[in-house]
Chain A
């Protein structure tokens, strides 16, 4: 018998941690960027960011006023018997976290503008469920802000344009977006699959720790070339000029239809918030 209350409590804690505690890999990348910058303006932006990270961490207050929409990734083992309990607990935890953390009420009916004030709604929260070998369950909470999401894009390139087209589109787009997505950003790039899958892969690429490298050599080479070129644009922290426009570029791919070359870019601001909950077979939190 799963302890539903304990599960909801753990998810509320995860949502609180997600809104207030920046993961260590992101903090390390921001600290490295601070050391790398050599102008007063760029260093001041990164110092304000790092001061803010420390303040939010110590006082458990939201890092950013845009606490995002709550995106959940649930990866359950084939032998995990409590998937339905997990899925049912998610909206209950979000509604509670909205008033307790608090989270900004961010879900709005596109037709009427009505806001239910609990961060729930039609198809909200966004929950992606995957299955894998094993009997446990891993829940990743990914609060996604609106400002950076607005700078995302999908291009249905021709196979003839291919990777050259992809690189050109990404560089032109980042130059255009400049400081609007709260640079330094993390860029998630999804290639192939289809229009929907390219976007899904691009967003999922953002779940990887900053600084991780795709095990596929071709994808890794693309990540490092794009990171170098994006940072050579000189947009810098908050678009005020500098060497750090992106902290990382993460590429994920699927095989493509021979006639298509779907390419998606999902942009993540420096406030790259993530929280992970690991459950054992009985649904007890073990991480």
Chain B
């Protein structure tokens, strides 16, 4: 387990050097996209012509407040990534993002897309919305706010050491979630047998 402090845009070599179990803190541009935003971006391309190369995509629907004309983030923990499983492989093939931030893990389709595109999936602690807001820092811009509403809009942040983030799916086909799934299935079989269920 190694700890890294990364700044987006992140280069290919850095991503290839990350392994499951490593801890990272991310600074620089991080943008949010949930189900609806994935669909919009796949349909219409980069939001506002943004260059997504090397950036971090965050599965998050934040609580925002407008104060004196400026958006402020109050709570912004990760949402359940698995809802985006059917969209993420296409998203990673189309856009050169290097870090996907979420919670709960993703499936084999995304794991393969991460390998194919040299990207990683990292886990932020679910529900830790106040902590995430502190790491996300200032809002640079927002897209699709009118069309999709606050949680589904694409919020673009200038993050300051967002973390700790666990590398849970790396660019080499390793997934902590697959490991835990395998072990917990063995444990389940053992428990059911012991209890005579």
A residues lining the B interface (CB < 8 Å)? 40-41, 44-45, 48-49, 51-52, 55-56, 59, 61-67, 102-106, 115, 117, 145, 147, 150, 164, 167-168, 171-172, 175, 178-180, 182, 225, 229, 232-241, 269-271
Contacts and interface: CB of A to CB of B under 8 A. Distances in A.
| Residue with the greatest number of chain A CB neighbours at <10 A, chosen from B60, B82, B166, B188 | B188
A239 B180 contact: yes
User: B interface, how many residues as a size bin?
Assistant: 35 or more
Rank and list the top 4 A-B pairs by shortest CB-CB distance, nearest first.
A182-B126, A52-B128, A48-B125, A62-B75
Contacts of A235: 180, 184
Interface in B132-189: 132-134, 149-151, 164, 166, 168, 176-177, 179-181, 183-185, 187-188
| Residue with the greatest number of chain A CB neighbours at <10 A, chosen from B62, B127, B181, B191 | B127
Given A52-B131, A104-B150, A240-B168, A147 B180 contact: no
26 contacts: A48-B164, A63-B75, A65-B77, A65-B79, A65-B129, A65-B151, A66-B79, A67-B63, A102-B63, A102-B74, A103-B63, A104-B63, A115-B149, A147-B79, A167-B195, A171-B188, A178-B104, A178-B177, A179-B105, A182-B104, A229-B195, A235-B184, A240-B177, A240-B180, A241-B183, A270-B127
A63 B188 CA distance: 32
Interface of B: 1, 21, 23, 60-63, 65, 74-77, 79-80, 82, 103-105, 123-134, 149-151, 164, 166, 168, 176-177, 179-181, 183-185, 187-188, 191-192, 195-197
A233 B125 contact: no
A234 B123 contact: no
A180 B131 contact: no
A102 B65 contact: yes
A237 B195 CA distance: 25
Contact of B191 (A55, A233, A271): A233
B75 A49 contact: no
Contacts of A41: 1, 21, 166, 176
Q: Binding site of B, secondary structure by majority: helix, strand, loop or mixed? A: mixed
B76 to A, nearest CB: 5
B80 A232 contact: no
Nearest to B180: A241
A232 B187 contact: yes
A168 B164 contact: no
Q: Binding site of A, secondary structure by majority: helix, strand, loop or mixed? A: loop
Contacts of B62: 65
A67 B1 CA distance: 33
A185 to B, nearest CB: 11
Contacts of B187: 175, 232-234
Nearest to B80: A147
B23 A44 contact: yes
A145 B78 CA distance: 13
Given A147-B126, A234-B183, A180 B23 contact: no
B131 A51 contact: yes
Contact of B75 (A61, A106, A164, A172): A61
